Structure 1
Amino acid sequence: MTRTRILAALLMAPIAIAAVLLLNTPWIAAVSAIVFLTALWEWLRLADIDDTLARTALLLLNLLLMVAVVWASATGGGSLVLLKMLAMAGVAWWLLATLWLRHYDFASDHDTRARVFKLAAGTLAVIPAWAALCVIHAGENGGHGNRWLLLALAIVWATDTGAYFTGRKFGKHKLAPRISPNKTIEGLVGGLVAGVLVAVAFAPLAGASLAQLPLVALVAVATVLASVVGDLFESLLKRHVGAKDSGTLIPGHGGVLDRLDSVLAALPVFAFGQIWLGF
């Protein structure tokens, strides 16, 4: 399984990097919308929407929301204001999701009310993350948006890798045993260190000055913590329905949502930090 996981990662990573660096913002918005909506399809399954027709209708509604956002932004002279507002909404949502994690049994049953909460959570996770991705890639703060987006993704990837190896070697204290028994506090620390180091090391390539590096490091800390919340929240959804993975599309990795859970939470936080601190 580990070999399959590594081979799949080696195949996906160059494709993702090439797309981020070579595609212009409208194209990256379109491609990422397809990927994010695929993750949302899996989210709907975890929310107990088993009927294919119902899941398709809900997916189309979210697609229409994306199209409406693009149309409104285009008719507004190409302004990113609406996208930025959605990204800010994403930050607010993930703060609420942190509270949800503290109450494991909330919406854990399979009744209509629980489904409504999880459906709303899916939209609040996916749409703002997609908006944040577009905002970062557009690069209003001096250009190089594609490099900043790649840096944001690299922070998440480094966090996952650092947490995995640190947790395996040093992990003793469980982070959230009821939600994700394999995650440890030591792994969190290792992931945090790895994410911040990657951010500081590669931010100059995206155009950050030496004076801005402490600000980048601060945003990286927040981004890492958000990515952990995203990971834990998907684990919570899977625990509620007794699922091991969100899907089977990616060999060795599970579903698309399994690969994007951290990214969904990290991107709005990174975008907010970049807008607020101006790098």
Structure 2
Amino acid sequence: MSAAFLAGEVAGRAVPVVAGVLGAGGVAVAALPSRVRMRAELRRRWRTWALAAPLFLGAFFLGTAGTFALAACLGVVAVGEYARLAALPRGEQAVLAAAAVALPGLAWAAPGALDLRTAGLLLFAATAIALFSSDTSTGFTRACRTAFGLLWIPLSLTGLVLLGDTAVAVGVAVAFGDVGAWCGGTALGRAGPLSRPLSPLSPNKTWAGVLGAAAATAAALAALSAFSPTLWAAVLTGCVAGDLLESMVKREAGVKDAGTWLPGFGGLLDRIDSLLVALLATMVVTL
């Protein structure tokens, strides 16, 4: 049985689950009274979810060609946002953009080629421009930020191609986890021990949010018949660490959001930060 067929099968199981949650969420958001402070924001977020869900799931029905296209498109946009946050020159931006297409393409065409040789080429690509430009003031910083960007974005997104049906479950579970974290933080994070912030990097993220994310990710994986303690731990790690990781990058850059074009979220990185770490963690524990 091919990976493409399996991915399409899991995506098929995900469709009614996601559609049901989106439908219930749409009714709930539409029914919010006007006095609710976040009413407009929640409606914008729901519309973005309603558009993104079919695009994400639809890619898996097209097999590895579809997941390559999804990974490459997400990667090109995300590395553009990251390059602006990290203040990378055009040369390093070009390296990141090329890797955003090349790595998922390699995972599609020749997955066996993703080995230590690839890691060595990525390290050389991250450092070459700064090395040969003889940048004595910021060269090391440029190289480190480029290397981090290669690992965080293009390499993580190859998981959409390599993981097959598991990538569908991870993507859906991360989306549910983000919603669960918000619901848990709102309902339980106002007072008591669960209201403590996880990190100064993101004071609004509390242990109540972690509890909500844990419940939501477990429920999503179970609904897709994909639950295992290892996969659940990888997804939950992504939901928690991914948001804090992006917050760290944004705080050093001095911005609130990675962009302004995605309604309800800001930029693409603000939407897929958890997914990136979850995919990387899942590849570590499953491949």
Q: Deviations over 1:183-240 (max 9, x none)?
A: 0011112101211222123126xxxxxxxx5xx2332122211332121111101001
- Say if 2:79 is the partner of 1:33: no
Identical residues among aligned pairs (%): 30
Query: In 2, Cα distance between the equivalents of 1:170 and 1:64?
Result: 42
SS in 2 for 1:41: helix
Residue 112 of structure 2 is matched in structure 1 by 81
Q: How many Å apart are 1:61 and its aligned residue?
A: 3.9
Letter in 2 for 1:188: V
Q: How many Å apart are 1:246 and its aligned residue?
A: 0.5
- Say if 2:282 is the partner of 1:242: no
- Say if 2:147 is the partner of 1:120: yes
Query: In 2, Cα distance between the equivalents of 1:112 and 1:259?
Result: 30
Q: Give ranges in structure 1 of 5+ residues lacking alignment.
A: 90-109, 138-144, 205-212
Residue 167 of structure 1 is matched in structure 2 by 185
Q: Deviations over 1:16-65 (max 9, x none)?
A: 12222x2110232123212112101111111112x5x4454233442474
2:80–2:97 CA contact under 8 A, matched in 1 = no
Query: In 2, Cα distance between the equivalents of 1:202 and 1:69?
Result: 28
Residue 134 of structure 1 is matched in structure 2 by 161
- Say if 2:225 is the partner of 1:203: yes
Query: In 2, Cα distance between the equivalents of 1:64 and 1:18?
Result: 19
Correspondence 1:89-104 to 2 at 5 A: none
Q: Deviations over 1:88-111 (max 9, x none)?
A: x8xxxxxxxxxxxxxxxxxxxx95
**TM-score of the two chains, using structure 2 as the length reference:** 0.70
Q: Which has the larger radius of gyration?
A: 2
How many residues matched? 223
Residue 189 of structure 1 is matched in structure 2 by 211
Query: In 2, Cα distance between the equivalents of 1:249 and 1:160?
Result: 20
1:41–1:55 CA contact under 8 A, matched in 2 = no
SS in 1 for 2:205: strand
Residue 201 of structure 2 is matched in structure 1 by 179
Q: How many Å apart are 1:266 and its aligned residue?
A: 0.5
Q: Give ranges in structure 2 of 5+ residues lacking alignment.
A: 1-40, 120-136, 190-194
Residue 99 of structure 1 is matched in structure 2 by none
Q: RMSD value over aligned CA atoms?
A: 2.4
Equivalent of residue 239 in structure 2, options 220, 227, 230: 227
C-alpha distance 118-55 of structure 1, shift in aligned 2 (>3 A): closer
C-alpha distance 81-170 of structure 1, shift in aligned 2 (>3 A): same
C-alpha distance 234-190 of structure 1, shift in aligned 2 (>3 A): same
Query: In 1, Cα distance between the equivalents of 2:138 and 2:187?
Result: 41
Query: In 2, Cα distance between the equivalents of 1:258 and 1:29?
Result: 21
Query: In 1, Cα distance between the equivalents of 2:223 and 2:104?
Result: 36
